[in-house]
Amino acid sequence: MLRSKIAGHALALVATIVLGGLLSATLVRLAPGFDADERQLDPHLNAESVQAFRAARQQDHNIWRFYFHYMNRAAHGDLGTSLALGQPVRTLLRDRATLTLRLLTVGLALAWVAALSLALTAAWLRISTYDALTTMVSGTFLCVPAAVLALLSVLWNVPGSLVIALIVFPHIYRYTRNLLAKSYSQPHIITARAKGLGEARILFWHVVPGVAPQLLAVAGVSVSMAVGAAIPVEALCGLAGVGQLAWQAALARDLPLLVNITILVTVVTLLANCGADVIGHMVRGQES
Amino acid sequence: MNLWRKLACALLAAILCASAAANWLAPAGYAKQYREATDAPPSRTHWLGTDEIGRDRFARVLYGTRISLLLAPAAALLSTLMAALIGGLAGYLGGIWARVAMAVTDLFLSLPWLFLLITARALMPLNVSPLFSVTVTFLLLGLLGWTTAARVLCATAGSLRSADFVRQARAAGVSGQRLFWIHVMPNLKPVLYAQFWISIPVFILSEANLGILGLGVAEPLPSWGSLLKELEGLVSGGDEPWKFVPLILLVLVVMSFQFLLSGQEQVTA
């Protein structure tokens, strides 16, 4: 069962990469200036050399040949060259990935710590005012666009990772709180309480293990949310990460770069979701 | 309807009425430039001051609200219809159709929403007329925002496929097409309504994000996104508080939708 689940996810991942690569190749081919080669304008070159460049470009007119070459190059790590920045896409991604990774890791950790602590204390204390207050705070953050939070962080010198945490936290909190509330209304919890079990024991022995698989699923989704939040945060806070690169590529209509980033992001989020799904499956298996 | 939902309804109605009456309430058009009063603070003539090229901010807020509040529901309607067709049909047909449709949906869902939006927006020309930019922005939101709703609708239609009344209708010789349009679709209505209301605040926030990033509605047309872009130039939060009016309005509108939505969820449940 577990093996077939992993195989299914691996298949989806490979299909995404192949489809994404084909889409990327199509967009590169359709991008303005695909047929042009600026070396042809070099006055030092004679007619034969110019003709040789033209002949080389002619080979790419066969769409299937072009796809094959593109995919072959991509398989060897050559993702093409950015039209706007004139640098290899691979180098650009490598240089900026570290910052984005650090931003996302710290942001996600902060968001989860805040959401879990607030949701668990709300479930434990069961004070309606506290619950209403935390729900109101998280609800307010849900109503503010991510880009506005990024702009305000520049104004108030708040680090980027904290902004990512503020964007992701309300989603996790709301889901966790609802899960815990639903879990507390189940008959076995009511019975446990009626039998006089302590609140801490009920929470950590009976409620949390029951909601763990769903929380793992949210963990996968939260990675996707954090990656999405990285665009406005990096773009508006002046952080040179992958999100800022995607934004610059979008403004410059640098399609090869943008599509490659999108594929990379899709693969990362798919991997996160697959990981969460597989771990959740294992946890459920252990429980049963 | 509880007190909070009544308040939310009243607030939304008031904001909608004010934006609809922008032609009468605003002191000037959204593009009129008062060159003698650029970046002016609030005054009797300009209630929210003017922007850096002398346009009345109150007028721009009213017109921007009209654009965001009219086009977000239009995009939500489009995405809900697409979700009904794709998700509803896939769920009703079941088998390989449902699996393929859900695989495509999952692929879309795995991609961060803002990444998908800016990639799709970048495929369109950026140097376009303001009217075209409004159409493209909200059309994109509508065309790309159907996936979550499609998933829910596919599951609902799938459960309806094996419902007693559908089986009886099928046994009575009702054609597949008639079964879908006359018997299955009307039963998807509560879910469709809920998805429609859920999509509106999502699209309002997405347009605001795109606008701030410079990929939304083009100047001189105002929208909440382009109005919020003004916050970029602030040196400190307390200096020009009137610049926060579009943000307060947006938060109030989205919050009102959330309150209405909680009621809708109860109805659907």
Is the model's pLDDT at B66 over the cut of 70?
Answer: yes
Question: Which residue has better confidence, B38 or B119?
Answer: B38
- Nearest residue in A to B255, CA atom: A143
Q: What would the pLDDT profile of B93-152 be if each residue is shown by its tens digit? A: 988 888 888 888 877 777 778 877 887 777 777 677 888 888 888 888 888 888 888 988
How many Å is the maximal CA-CA distance in chain B?
77
* Contact check, Cβ <8 Å, A155/B115: no
pLDDT of residue B269: 43
End-to-end Cα separation, chain A, in angstroms = 14
Give the span between the Cα atoms of A123 and A126, in whole angstroms: 5
Is residue B106 a contact partner of residue A269, using CB atoms and an 8 Å limit? no
- The full set of domain ranges for chain B reads 56-245
Q: Is residue A232 within 8 Å of A146, Cβ to Cβ? A: yes
Give, as one character, the DSSP assignment of residue B145: T
Distances (CA, A) of B266 to A60, B150, B154, B269: 58, 20, 21, 5
Measured between beta carbons, which residues in chain A are less than 8 angstroms from residue B232?
Answer: 151, 236
Residue of chain A whose alpha carbon sits nearest to that of B201: A143
- Cross-chain residue pair A249–B122, CB shorter than 8 Å: yes
The residue ranking higher by pLDDT, A170 or B131, is A170
Residue A173 has pLDDT above 60, yes or no: yes
CA B28 to CA B220: how far, in whole Å? 14
The mean pLDDT of A34-41, rounded to a whole number, is: 64
**Residue B16 to chain A, least CA–CA distance (Å):** 18
Quick one: pLDDT at residue A33? 60
- How does pLDDT run across A131-163, given as a tens digit for each residue? 889 988 998 999 999 999 999 998 888 999 999
Residues A62-79 have a mean pLDDT of 75
SS3 of chain A: the string is CHHHHHHHHHHHHHHHHHHHHHHHHHHHHHCCCCCCCHHHHCCCCCHHHHHHHHHHHHHCCCHHHHHHHHHHHHHCCCCCECCCCCCEHHHHHHHHHHHHHHHHHHHHHHHHHHHHHHHHHHHHHCCHHHHHHHHHHHHHHHCCCHHHHHHHHHHCCCCHHHHHHHHHHHHHHHHHHHHHHHHHCCHHHHHHHHCCCCHHHHHHHHHHHHHHHHHHHHHHHHHHHHHHHHHHHHHHHCCCCHHHHHHHHHHCCCHHHHHHHHHHHHHHHHHHHHHHHHHHHHHHHHHC
pLDDT, position A45: 74
- Encode pLDDT of B176-222 as tens digits: 889 989 988 999 999 999 889 999 999 999 999 988 988 888 888 99
- Read off the pTM: 0.86
Closest Cα partner for A246 from A271, A224, A264? A264
- Closest CB to A270: pick one of B110, B122, B235: B110
The confidence band for B36, taking pLDDT boundaries of 50, 70 and 90, is: confident
CB pairs under 8 A between A and B: 116
Q: What is the mean pLDDT of residues B247-265?
A: 85
- Say how far apart CA B85 and CA B124 lie, in whole Å: 26
Closest approach of chain A CAs to the CA of B160, in angstroms? 26
Q: Is B56-245 CATH 3.30.70.141? A: no
Residues of chain A with pLDDT > 70: what percent? 89
- In chain B, residues with a C-beta closer than 8 Å to the C-beta of A140 are 251, 255
Q: For residue B213, give the nearest of A12, A247, A273 by CB distance.
A: A247
pLDDT tens-digit map of A8-28: 778 877 877 777 767 766 766
Q: Encode B89-100: b = buried (16+ Cβ within 10 Å), e = exposed.
A: bbbbbeeeebee
Sequence-ordered list of residues with C-beta below 8 angstroms from that of B255, at least 6 positions apart, any chain: A139, A140, A143, B8
Structure tokens at B142: 């509508």
User: Which sign, positive or negative, has the C-alpha torsion B75, B81, B85, B86?
Assistant: positive
Tell me, what's the pLDDT at A34? 61
